[in-house]
Structure 1
Amino acid sequence: MRTSRKGSVEMPAFVRQLVKETEKRVSSFFKGGRGGAAEGEQTGEGEKEEVIPSPYLDRPVLDKLAEEGCARWGLTYALGSMQGWRTNMEDYHNCVPQLGGELADWSFFAVFDGHAGSTAAQHCSQHLLGHILATGGLGHEDDPDRVKGALTEGFLQTDKHLHAVARREGWERGGTTAVSALISPYNIYFANCGDSRAVLCRSGQVCFSTEDHKPYSPLEKERIESAGGSVSLQRINGSLAVSRALGDFSYKAAENRSPNEQMVSPEPEVCVVERSPADEFLVLACDGVWDTISNEELCAFIHNRLLVCTDLRDVCSQVIDLCLYKGSLDNISIILLCFPGAPQLSTEALHQEAELEDLLESKVAEIYDELCARGEDPDLLAVLTILASTVIPGLPPGGGIQSKRNCIISAYYQQREMHNPTVPNETEGS
């Protein structure tokens, strides 16, 4: 794997081939066994085999969208989002730190992870909050049951409105997961529909997390089968990987069944957690994050990063890079919400961070010199491989060596320039 100073990464050829072959075999299975034919190649029946384009790029799109803001009651937040290896960006978000009016001390945040297109995710990011507010269930009284009902009804109305738009505009295939956090002066309300996830960190530990809605979960599977569907390859009818979503109307056609009884349900799972002075931060993120890192690992990593970094956008960027380097092939989006009790900048932690980066630079130099002495080409992959097997004290908890990869890459190119000042970077500008 080659990596430039700018951090661009190439998918190894064998990984690309494996992905393509897997897609082809799965596609062939659900087309009745026809498969293996290349684009334009004739099948045994004289038909041309349909080729489904790969959802992955040969190298990731690394440009990041960043956003930050604050609420008057002490909340600060940042968003980080990146297309990554996917051919299209299908994630959307909504960040409203102050709802205004009598709800000026309320905040709303959500992440939407679209599939089979971005239309549903974009629509819901623009309209979900409006449908929640239209229920009239939010107010000064902060009645948990009433607010939970408003969130559920808001999701259902959003799905109903989305269906009308889909029919009018002639599309019904795509859908989106949605995970949201509605923060009142006393409570945090979580509403989750799909496999995006919210995690609350309190006193340095995971205090709460939403549950992913997967087709193979017993209750979800029971509903799917009762609605006439099946679960194979851990997917609904072998195709859709989530059991709750907004949109996906081809899975919501069972007659005489309510919306929450369909194969794919638009009903969110709503939970309420009473706020505490010990609350540190809250994360909302798509499965492009959770596919590569656990709740506990992410909580530990962010807690550590907040001790050495005051820019929440940079913390989000570090999380995205970590997930990319740990192997995420999906779009990656994260919203980080910091409460007044979040970790603050630490002089001791900054000193430890500086020592760690000095150590990494010296290790890279040692490895580079050793490889040169052996007459070997000290390419980046060789240096990374050796360093990954080396015991490095003081690495960020939850992040490991992958979280310092940018520092290692920078140190590698410094060594390369020192040893070969006239040799250009072969991947510069790629």
Structure 2
Amino acid sequence: MVAEAEIVCQQNMGVSDVKFFPNKGSNIHEIGDADAIISPPSFDRVRPSEPVSAELLTSQDDAKTADAISDAALESAVLQFVPCIRSGSFADIGPRRYMEDEHVRIDDLSSHLGSLYNFPNPSAFYGVFDGHGGPEAAAYIRKNVIKFFFEDVSFPQTSEVDKVFLQEVENSLRKAFLLADSALADDCSVNTSSGTTALTAFIFGRLLMVANAGDCRAVLSRKGEAIDMSEDHRPIYPSERRRVEDLGGYIEDGYLNGVLSVTRALGDWDMKLPKGAPSPLIAEPEFRQMVLTEDDEFLIIGCDGIWDVMSSQHAVSLVRKGLRRHDDPERCARDLVMEALRLNTFDNLTVIIVCFSSLDHRESEPSPPQRKLRCCSLSAEALCSLRSLLEGGASN
């Protein structure tokens, strides 16, 4: 499988994909151009107060923390189903004036990082970064994603997936989120009012791990049933509201301190200063893990522009229908974005779809209608006339 990292940076309705193929063994620090991104004169920081879809699935029995996944379950993963990973993505500026979303898509992490890294097979990495207050924060995280998530944190390496590796990965990802957040405060090219939500998904063998800070969402399809692999960090949710108020913050009209529609994000240092002081806006991610089975078909990773106008189950059903028809995750990602636009979303749109296998029982093309043969009976006199006619023709 060819190593691939897809980076999207748009300022208009068109999509521009830049493929990135680092040399194996090289010291990888940045993805994308090193040129500074010039900010437009002004940006909408507070998102419009549109109603948020309340149809969210709550059955999360299968999404577990690191401690809840037993060694036996991880050991059995080696002997059973192994996902065959492929993915597709699509992004659109939507009705906004500026594109502030970024994403990264790496289907073969081992090949992408080179021989210096040793991971279980298969290994993959995906991320969606939904910026606000300007594109600088999301673009900065995307450009330095390999540095933050692998180099600076000494990402754990092994060919075996066990409970120790699982805990080490979680610790490294938590550190990576916090380091990236701190780097945004120190880099003078990033405005202190610019921030980004961040959702990353890792696949190691049959292990799926999602880390989330913000309101992007990952949804797993298990036999067509939507399973949320992340929780939207919004001020309206009781657990986040309690945490915010305990740290001295307040919720006004559904916004953190009357300003921000999320309670977790990287950047936004004008709301976190002084650095090191407790803040109701945090970059701490939450984690969910899953041991994949043959029933797990694909994962949808999308920014909130998707989930503002459709439920997790709606998205899964739409993608599943498309995969059964043409088995193309790229087309399904585009269809999902087009559906959100049809439903009048008011935000930028970014979707990644990760397939774990080809769906069976694809919808077959309708067969052409069969011509029905009509039977009729002939009288004895008609049969004699027909016989005479045929015999006369044969004698000529």
Taking structure 2 as the reference length, what is the TM-score of the superposition? 0.67
Pick one of 85, 92, 97 that aligns with 2:102: 92
What is the CA deviation profile of residues 95-130 of structure 1, one whole-angstrom value per residue up to 9, with x for unaligned ones? 111222313631100111000101100111122342
Inter-partner Cα distance in structure 2 for 1:200 and 1:188: 10
1:218 aligned partner? 238
Q: 2 CA distance for matches of 1:234 and 1:64? A: 32
| Rg comparison, structure with higher value | 2
User: Residue 163 in 1 paired to residue 185 in 2?
Assistant: yes
Q: For the Cα contact (< 8 Å) 1:186–1:275, is it kept in 2?
A: yes
How do 1:49-128 and structure 2 match up within 5 A? 62-65=13-16, 74-100=84-110, 101=115, 102-103=118-119, 105-128=122-145
- 1:246 matched residue in structure 2: 266
CA distance in 2, matches of 1:234, 1:285: 22
Match of 1:315 among 326, 332, 349: 332
Number of residue pairs the alignment of both structures matches: 286
Q: Which residue of the other structure, out of 341, 366, 372, is the alignment partner of 1:351?
A: 366
Q: Give distance in 1, aligned partners of 2:327 and 2:292.
A: 23
**1:357-385 CA distances to partner (integer Å, 9 max, x unpaired)?**
xxxxxxxxxxxxxxxxxxxxxxxxxxxxx
Task: Return 5+ residue gaps in structure 2 as ranges.
Answer: 1-10, 21-81, 370-396
Higher helix content, 1 or 2: 1
Q: 1:248–1:255: structure 2 CA closer, same or farther, 3 Å change rule?
A: closer
Following superposition, the deviation at residue 301 of structure 1 comes to: 1.0
Distance in 1 (CA, whole Å) between partners of 2:201 and 2:355 is: 13
User: Are 1:282 and 2:292 matched, yes or no?
Assistant: no
Aligned to 2:157: 139
Distance 1:149 1:208 in 2: 22
Distance in 1 between residues matched to 2:173 and 2:13, nearest whole Å: 34
Q: Is the 8 Å Cα contact of residues 65 and 81 (structure 1) preserved in structure 2?
A: no
Amino acid at match of 1:267: E
For residues 169 and 256 of structure 1, do their structure 2 counterparts lie closer, same or farther at Cα, with a shift above 3 Å needed?
closer
* SS of residue paired to 2:290: strand
Q: Is the alpha carbon distance of 1:310 and 1:234 closer, same or farther for their aligned partners in structure 2, counting shifts above 3 Å?
A: same
Please state how far the C-alpha of 1:238 moved relative to its aligned partner. Answer: 1.1
Report if aligned partners of 1:288, 1:330 keep a CA contact under 8 Å in 2: yes
Q: CA RMSD in A?
A: 2.6
CA contact (8 A) 1:280 1:339 kept: yes
Task: Report the equivalent of 1:412.
Answer: none
In structure 2, C-alpha distance between the alignment counterparts of 1:184 and 1:312, rounded to whole Å: 20
Any idea what SS the aligned residue of 2:281 has? coil
CA distance in 2, matches of 1:334, 1:314: 11
The two structures have a TM-score, normalised by structure 1, of 0.62
SS at match of 2:177: helix
Cα deviation, 1:206-260, whole Å, max 9, x if unaligned, reads: 2343100012323322332333321101001211000000001112126763xxx
The sequence identity of aligned pairs, in percent, is 28
One-letter identity of the residue aligned with 2:184 = L
Q: CA contact under 8 A between 2:249 and 2:256: conserved in structure 1?
A: yes
Separation in 1, partners of 2:321, 2:265: 33
When residues 170 and 321 of structure 1 are mapped into structure 2, their CA distance, relative to the original with a 3 A threshold, is: closer
Q: Which amino acid aligns with 1:194?
A: G
Report if the CA contact (8 A) 1:68-1:78 is conserved: no
Which deviates more from structure 2 when the two are superposed, residues 248-257 or residues 276-285?
A: 248-257
User: Aligned partner of 1:94: which letter?
Assistant: V
SS in 1 for 2:310: coil
Give the aligned partner of residue 175 of structure 2: 153
Q: Which residue of 2 aligns with 1:366?
A: none
The answer (yes or no) to whether the contact 2:210–2:287 under 8 Å persists in 1 is yes
Change (3 A) 1:236 1:327: same
Correspondence for 2:78: none
Give 3-state SS (helix, strand or coil) of 2:289's partner.
strand
Q: Does the 8 A contact of 1:67 with 1:78 survive in 2? A: no
Q: What amino acid is the match of 1:351?
A: P
Gap change, CA 1:230 and 1:68, over 3 Å in 2: same
Correspondence for 1:371: none
Q: What is the rounded CA distance, in whole Å, between the counterparts of 1:121 and 1:311 in structure 2?
A: 28
- Deviation of 1:65 (Å): 4.8
Could you tell me how far apart the structure 2 residues matched to 1:299 and 1:65 are?
Answer: 26
The partner residue of 2:346 within 314, 317, 329 is: 329
Residues of 2 paired with 1:73 and 1:205: CA distance? Answer: 18
1:219–1:309 Cα change, 3 Å = same
**1:162 shift after superposition:** 1.6
- The verdict on how the C-alpha distance between 1:242 and 1:204 changes in structure 2, with shifts beyond 3 A counting, is same
1:204 paired to 2:220: no
Matches within 5 A, 1:228-243: 228-243=248-263
Q: Note if contact 2:12-2:99 (Cα within 8 Å) is conserved in structure 1.
A: no
Report if the CA contact (8 A) 2:123-2:202 is conserved: yes
Counterpart Cα distance in 2 of 1:113 and 1:255:
23
Q: 1:149 to 1:222 in 2, by over 3 A?
A: same
CA contact (8 A) 2:137 2:190 kept: no
Deviations 1:69-120 (A, max 9, x none): 9xx9721101100001000000000111122231363110011100010110
In the TM superposition, what is the alpha-carbon distance from 1:169 to its structure 2 partner? Answer: 3.2
Q: Is the 8 A contact 2:213 2:286 kept in 1?
A: yes
Q: 1:81–1:332: 8 Å Cα contact kept in structure 2? A: yes
- Structure 2 partner of 1:425: none
